[in-house]
Amino acid sequence: MEEKGLLLIVSGFSGAGKGTIVKEFISRNNDVRLSVSATTREKRQGEQEGVHYYYISKDQFENMIDRGDMFEYASYVNNYYGTPKSFVMKQLEEGHDVILEIEMQGALQVKRMYDEAILIFVVPPHAKDLEDRLFGRGTETAEVIKNRLRRSCEEVDLIKYYDYIIVNDQLSDSVRMLENIRNAEHLKVKHYENLIDKLKGELQGIIN
Ligand code: ADP
Ligand code: 5GP
């Protein structure tokens, strides 16, 4: 049977650069499947339905929760965000690596039910970078930015439950770090049980 794919989960403070890192990572590693989330937040300028998110109403979102169609979900700064279950399960079963870019509550929900998930947290070198990057992105009002920074402050104490951290200083270095994490995870002994068994058989054949 084909081995299941890796589930990579990228979270990080708002404005840390996780969306930018994941986008670049996917463009360089197009065998990795990116899960498209559902959200109740407004579409930003330049975003596309089904590419950045599925934009749905609060009622539609709650119906998906009730039907058990969400792999995980969370409320983040007055909106719902969630990962549709069917895509992720199918891709993992088929042996593809899947990446989710989701906030912390959702990531920790996944880790509790699926311990193999690999949790990666993105931070900037300095807190001030968050404010600068969010204002620089220009997609949120000053009030929403303040709420997102407040949320980041609450998230700090939970970073210890993550497996890896990426300090996003130079974008290209950060993308390489994400690739390194993926590569190292693929080299874990647990993924090589069949090869180890085969080598054992071959060795026994040689010595007998
Ligand atoms: P997030 O998804 O974590 O909220 P984004 O990926 O949208 O953050 O990045 C926030 C802003 O910071 C964007 O305008 C992006 O171009 C910029 N940015 C991302 N990475 C870096 C970096 N390493 N150095 C400087 N600016 C960055
Ligand atoms: P944004 O509004 O900036 O696109 O996203 C806000 C936050 O929601 C980010 O931290 C992003 O990672 C997170 N997010 C996006 N999709 C999901 C999802 O499906 N589930 C959860 N739990 N968080 C998500």
For residue 74, which of 143, 129, 154 has the smallest C-alpha distance? 154
Max CA-CA distance within the chain? 74
195 — pLDDT class (breaks 50, 70, 90): very high
For residue 77, which of 20, 134, 129, 126 has the smallest C-alpha distance? 134
Asked whether residue 28 is domain-assigned, the answer is yes
Domain tally, the chain:
1
Taking residues 156-183, report their average pLDDT: 98
pLDDT of residue 201: 98
- The answer to whether 96 and 31 have CB atoms below 8 angstroms apart is yes
Q: Which ligand is nearest to the CA of 100?
A: 2
Asked whether residue 156 is domain-assigned, the answer is yes
- The answer to whether 100 and 88 have CB atoms below 8 angstroms apart is yes
Taking residues 174-180, report their average pLDDT: 98
Domain with 128, as residue range(s), is 7-35+96-207
Q: Whole-number mean pLDDT of the chain?
A: 96
CATH number for the domain spanning 111: value is 3.40.50.300
Asked whether residue 139 is domain-assigned, the answer is yes
pLDDT of residue 3: 85
pTM: 0.95
Looking at ligand 1, which residue's alpha carbon is closest to its atom 12? 133
Residue to substitute in 69, 78, 81 for testing ligand 2 pocket (most ligand atoms within 8 angstroms of CB): 81
Report pLDDT digits (tens) over 19-66: 999 999 999 999 999 999 999 999 999 999 999 999 999 999 999 999
Q: Exposed, middle or buried, 114 (CB in 10 Å: 0-12/13-18/19+)?
A: middle
DSSP secondary structure code for residue 162 in this structure: S
pLDDT of residue 2: 63
147 Cβ below 6 A of ligand 1 = no
